[in-house]
Amino acid sequence: MPQLWQGRASKAVDSRVNDFNSSIRFDARMIEQDIQGSLVHSAMLGRQGIISQQDVDDIHKGLHSILEDLHSGALEIDPNAEDVHTFVEQTLTARVGDAGKRLHTGRSRNDQVATDIRLYLRTEIDQIIAMLGHLQEVLVHNAAKESDTLMPGFTHMQVAQPVSFGHHLLAYVEMFERDRERMTQLRSRVNRCPLGAAALAGTTYPIDREMTAKLLGFEAVCQNSLDAVSDRDFGIEFTAAASLVMIHISRLSEELVIWMSQRFSFIKLPDRFTTGSSIMPQKKNPDVPETARGKCSRVVGDLVSMAMLMKGLPLAYNKDLQEDKEPVFDAIDTVKDTLRAFIEMMAGVEPNREEMRKALLAGYPTATDLADYLARRGVPFRTAHDIVGRVVRLASDRGCDIADLSLEELREFSDVITEDVYDVLTLEGSVAARNHIGGTAPAQVRLQVQRWEKIFAEREAQAKASK
């Protein structure tokens, strides 16, 4: 397929140079967006009297036929085309003649590709936002079932305080909510139309950029032609937001791997999300969480690629920008594949409540509760902290929990201790006492579940209203 610019050249480009320059192998996925942009651009050209209505009709007929043939399999994208834009235009021209040659009036591939990638990314962001919401729903559903299930809360990977398993799951719901917010805010900045900026300086034709932007569903036009074609900060921002999604998933993955290990045995993962060993028949490996943990580095790498791509580019368009698509596409695919797996996997996580409780009892998790008990009775907290440290040492020497020590033994450390101390030394009493917004008390977990269920219902209502 000949290049669109070959009139300037006296000799054909070396085939290896063509291969090096070609982007069709990855930008072909934007073909529907390219056709969408061309339909709107040609309609605008006709409305403005730049091309005839007959040309517009022929162009639209040809572009729709290309779409139909692509969907039916009657047309395949030529792998030898320079890029998807060239393929569409030349296929169109072959079908409708000179009208196809008029399609590119008043635009450049520079603003064309910038438009295509924004259109493509906008749709993908919407899908990622929806998938994050589905994952949140799964986690909230699990939290509702496990509000009374107690597990160790860790600091420095040491048993610190008892928490509700439901409370722990809701922590990730909050993380994924911030991910949704970032994606939503980013979408608004993506949703600005560069079409009409042409190569870099605009065009001499009397185009109507507002019309084009409106028909393509953009919120606004890019206000500077140089900026419109030459910046990909929205791609950097997307890969940054995608990286944070994957970082949160990677943290959850790490905990799933730890919890599934024999040393913990806190959870069971559904068999369809685990694998075995080629040599050790007893193994059940958490491959999906491990793979997700690894894929996090891949998406962070996409972010680094985008940042390095842009850092030294002068205005306006440079061929370097061809390299913007693969990192963005890779981040999209990786995030969506990972979210899809986690939505299904997390729905099947089974907690081992006995093992969680056993781990709690081995780590003196109510020590802080005893210190608070003493402080409420007038003992300075720092003094109380020292007293409890000595109580824990005694319990450790005895090989028992603090709650197993007798009242007489406890009173040897402080005479303000009375029989009611055992109310705060139980695991259930410890979590129930943290009954405030953001606390781990089962009552608060249930309130948070209700809050999230209300949020989900509002989102669903908004989605139905917008259709």
Residues tagged active-site: 156, 277
Cα-flanking dihedrals φ and ψ of residue 163, to 5°?
-135, 160
Measured N-to-C along each axis, helices 109-145 and 165-190 cross at an angle, to the nearest 10 degrees, of: 160
Please state, in angstroms and rounded to a whole number, the distance separating the CA atoms of residues 261 and 258.
5
Tokens standing for residue 272: 């369809």
Is residue 88 a contact partner of residue 38, using CB atoms and an 8 Å limit? yes
Q: Which of 170, 34, 115, 134 is nearest to 336 (CA)?
A: 134
Q: Are 306 and 327 in contact (CB under 8 A)?
A: yes
Beta bridge partners of 275: 285
Q: Alpha carbon 462 to chain centroid distance? A: 21
- Euclidean distance between CA atoms 437 and 448, whole angstroms: 9
Where b means 16+ CB within 10 Å and e means fewer, 215-246 reads bbebeebbeebeebbbbbebbbbbbbbbbbbb
- φ/ψ of 417, rounded to 5, equals -75, 130
Q: Is the dihedral of CA 39, 129, 70, 232 positive or negative?
A: positive
- Joined together, the tokens standing for residue 371 give 């210190």
Instruction: Identify the DSSP state of 285.
Output: B
Nearest to 170 by CA among 204, 205, 199, 135: 135
Tokens at residue 424, please? 């705060």
Q: Which helix (H) or strand (E) holds 161?
A: strand 158-164
- Indicate the helix (H) or strand (E) that contains 302: helix 287-310
Which residue bears the tokens 């590119």?
104
Query: In whole angstroms, how far apart are CA 342 and each of 159, 244, 350, 455?
Result: 27, 16, 14, 21
